Structure 1
């Protein structure tokens, strides 16, 4: 059911938690925040390097000047449609140049993109539309066999606030993105509001991996996200002659701004998009375009490394391979450096903000045995015990963070914010870490586990409680626990341990049911285990450790 917001509740600032004034002033004094809109990345690049290739896919290449011009036309067309500054628009496009065209068109129009992923379905998109108060949706016509227009039809019926649907490809009854790109801008038309954007307000909304319930929306301001992109480009020593490959879904924080496409643009580097990250396709693309940098999740990086044993062509030009998304063992890091490139960079971070990198030129011991050190000198990290007290230097505990590019609250999520943030503004990451206190690894972070109940599946962080909530809607299920099971390729699989109340159903039938509920494919179980009852702890909670042990024994 759609919930209509009252006029005073529909503005961009409603439900946004800003940076405290004292910290904001400090970040401006330090030169991290420039007061510029995020779209100024393209303004500067088009001015400095107009004829340099900006974005490339299998069908098109745009120079920075060409991307600047088409983004201006799209922005004007969006304003002509009635999309106003501050309006939220769901952006769900696969990895093509049109993702960048739509993103910068929205930013130039002053709209706020909600960065959906191609795998999200009606359940997630409806939730994002309701929370954000989105007025529009940008989708492909079809991708990987799925008709996004049919989903959009259902969404607009259940969420009447979604008044604008823009389609890359055959639009059907909706608006064509190509038509917006060809919009004729009148000489008398006012320019899109590039210079009037409040840089302290959200530029875009990222999607959380989710720890409880549906994914939350992460507001990233113009100030903090511009710093995120430029700071990461500096930490990675990205240069104008680099070529960055977007192999992960482009709407993810990692390939978008860590440094990703946006960071590449800050130094004039070229970005190549691929929707097929398989070794055969990616290796050929890397060698065709001379790709020097890319970001992968651990499972995909391992697959690429293994493929070097059978693929006739290896990636020759890679100098920087960023790997993150789940903990990496030292022997895995060594294997990736041996097979793909010595220039491995371990990355530990989150869409909520804080990022840690190993750096180019770091000793092998740091690269293979740690997840790096903070990106910014103003990142603040605390490691605490279960009572919230600081642990001794070098001991393990939960990581708390705050800094110039870490959020201060999820968007319109008061309950989640009460649980996720300390009174002094530190964000509870839910990750168990230790920070080395002395020796050659001093100041570097090692991820040792997690506290929040999530499953890291193929680079996606899946909320176990969200999976459980959907499964409990099935009439044949009386209780369920979603647990992580180690997997060679995905890192972790989703296993549903189920107590049936009636006739049992198989995994295919269960996932068909979830598909009908509009659940994203990456949030559906890979395994189904029927149990007579779920084991519990001494205090009556479901004992997931025992469930995993029983599954392993079977």
Structure 2
């Protein structure tokens, strides 16, 4: 396990392996295997671009060799800040294949968020558009590089049809080197032996006291999450998954999302804007069968669907990423006529709960669901950390095979966010249903506690 990360205790790791949850394969091996099985099938679609599984695997291989030639070494970290374009998926797998740990960051983040990420992870590289929607990411990277000793390699993605200002190896006064991402096309030289227990990538959870909170996800745990979610929603090789929200989130990347779709040999369609004007047309054109949206996006789709028309090829399932306390999410009707809606609660840390499909009246039956894994251990605790009585509301605590045991290099926050026996304090209020489901009711701020009592998450 990477320094600064908290491993699962060996007894739990042995249990998850024995149960078949952790199977010992890395995510880049998964892509390599699917390329052998489904080589000519379409893996990625973005506008007019279509990549087969064989092409996706080949490009990841060649980019991984290019990263190594540019001096990246196993165990180093690289911040990846790309929109939903094919290069995001290629870069993710190429870095993992080179043994480098991607730090996934939304493209909307600016220097105030990216600079602390670089410092925390000591990132030596940065992958982003040269400029995107009017913002100069390369200039931001140059400013961050001048602040400290870490960031020294920038890999800009040029906009289609634009000449690169970085026509080769160049440097700036800070000593930062620039290599166009498209130039990382080198013959594969070797296959790096890696452990499935290694950190595959970091997901950004949020911030605490102005510093980012990063969740380390291993190959074993994230592959299990994506695979189990794919099984739960009956995802198959004929499914087409639309990634409409940012692909660097746990929901879109692996619930089942992009990785789950790759697991089963399906097709991923990437959209850079979740708005209905673009996405409803993509749903029809690409015969999308599954997608994930937020409640606000679902409402926009719902409002626009009658005017846009959905034809005969609407998705069979729309997952709605729930927000604790957004009780209106439970009353949403299907965003596209003829499909089922499913509420998904969870974050970068887990756990995931998924509701059953909508009822016959076209509404989601309630903001509740079951934990994804049979080995998810769930507690509902009161303000004193004591298990709440049956049927009562309490803070949702969880540990399991895809819920990491700590944030990266954040010992103080870990002491507040994790119990001594490894349960993650989600900050979400929930109660159990008689059949074992969970109703998510709000946030920890709503938990009653005696006058004068402090933050119940502090031991």
Show the counterpart of 2:385: 388
Q: Secondary structure at the match of 2:26?
A: coil
Deviation track 1:271-303 (CA, whole Å, cap 9, x = no partner) reads 000112111110111111000110001111111
In 1, the alpha carbon distance for the partners of 2:381 and 2:109 equals: 34
In 2, the alpha carbon distance for the partners of 1:171 and 1:302 equals: 41
Map residues 443-458 of structure 1 onto 2, 5 A cutoff. Answer: 443-451=436-444
Native 8 Å contact 1:321 1:341 kept in 2 = no
Native 8 Å contact 1:284 1:315 kept in 2 = no
In 2, the alpha carbon distance for the partners of 1:160 and 1:314 equals: 55
Q: Secondary structure at the match of 2:334?
A: helix
In 2, the alpha carbon distance for the partners of 1:338 and 1:94 equals: 24
In 1, the alpha carbon distance for the partners of 2:371 and 2:259 equals: 19
Show the counterpart of 2:183: 179
| Aligned-residue offset at 1:257 | 0.7
Q: 1:384 to 1:78 in 2, by over 3 A?
A: same
Show the counterpart of 1:256: 253
Show the counterpart of 2:224: 227
Native 8 Å contact 1:54 1:63 kept in 2 = yes
Show the counterpart of 1:425: 422
Q: Secondary structure at the match of 2:368?
A: coil
Native 8 Å contact 2:326 2:442 kept in 1 = no
Q: Which has the larger radius of gyration?
A: 1
The counterpart of 1:281, out of the listed 275, 278, 283, is 278
Show the counterpart of 2:214: 217
| Aligned-residue offset at 1:365 | 10
Deviation track 1:521-548 (CA, whole Å, cap 9, x = no partner) reads xxxxxxxxxxxxxxxx98699xxxxxxx
Show the counterpart of 1:102: 91
Aligned-residue RMSD, C-alpha: 2.3
Show the counterpart of 2:198: 201
Native 8 Å contact 2:315 2:339 kept in 1 = no
Q: 1:342 to 1:106 in 2, by over 3 A?
A: same
Q: Secondary structure at the match of 2:344?
A: strand
Show the counterpart of 1:192: 191
The counterpart of 2:242, out of the listed 238, 241, 245, is 245
The counterpart of 1:66, out of the listed 52, 55, 59, is 55
Deviation track 1:31-86 (CA, whole Å, cap 9, x = no partner) reads 00011112122112101100000011014111000011110000111111111111
Q: Secondary structure at the match of 2:235?
A: coil
Matching of residue 19 in structure 1 with residue 13 in structure 2: no
Q: Secondary structure at the match of 2:283?
A: helix
In 2, the alpha carbon distance for the partners of 1:269 and 1:328 equals: 34
Q: 1:263 to 1:171 in 2, by over 3 A?
A: farther
Native 8 Å contact 2:395 2:430 kept in 1 = yes
In 2, the alpha carbon distance for the partners of 1:97 and 1:338 equals: 26
In 2, the alpha carbon distance for the partners of 1:452 and 1:192 equals: 49
The counterpart of 1:414, out of the listed 402, 411, 416, is 411
Matching of residue 355 in structure 1 with residue 352 in structure 2: yes
Q: Secondary structure at the match of 2:83?
A: coil
In 1, the alpha carbon distance for the partners of 2:237 and 2:126 equals: 33
Show the counterpart of 1:434: 431
Map residues 250-399 of structure 1 onto 2, 5 A cutoff. Answer: 250-313=247-310, 316-327=313-324, 332-337=329-334, 340-360=337-357, 367-399=364-396
In 2, the alpha carbon distance for the partners of 1:213 and 1:19 equals: 27
In 2, the alpha carbon distance for the partners of 1:419 and 1:363 equals: 43
Q: Secondary structure at the match of 1:398?
A: strand
Deviation track 1:282-336 (CA, whole Å, cap 9, x = no partner) reads 0111111000110001111111111124324568321010001414877754542
> Which stretch has the larger CA shift, 271-280 or 327-336?
327-336
| Aligned-residue offset at 1:107 | 0.9
| Aligned-residue offset at 1:184 | 3.6
In 2, the alpha carbon distance for the partners of 1:386 and 1:41 equals: 43
Q: 1:332 to 1:352 in 2, by over 3 A?
A: closer
In 1, the alpha carbon distance for the partners of 2:238 and 2:279 equals: 20
Q: Secondary structure at the match of 2:211?
A: coil
Q: Secondary structure at the match of 1:234?
A: helix
Q: 1:335 to 1:416 in 2, by over 3 A?
A: closer
In 1, the alpha carbon distance for the partners of 2:208 and 2:117 equals: 16
State how many pairs are aligned. Answer: 436
In 2, the alpha carbon distance for the partners of 1:420 and 1:296 equals: 27
> Which stretch has the larger CA shift, 331-340 or 35-44?
331-340
Gaps of 5+ in 2: 159-163, 171-177, 455-459
Native 8 Å contact 2:322 2:343 kept in 1 = no
> Which stretch has the larger CA shift, 334-343 or 128-137?
334-343
Show the counterpart of 1:45: 34
In 1, the alpha carbon distance for the partners of 2:277 and 2:118 equals: 37
Q: 1:126 to 1:332 in 2, by over 3 A?
A: closer
Q: 1:389 to 1:314 in 2, by over 3 A?
A: farther
Q: Secondary structure at the match of 1:113?
A: strand
Q: 1:308 to 1:314 in 2, by over 3 A?
A: farther
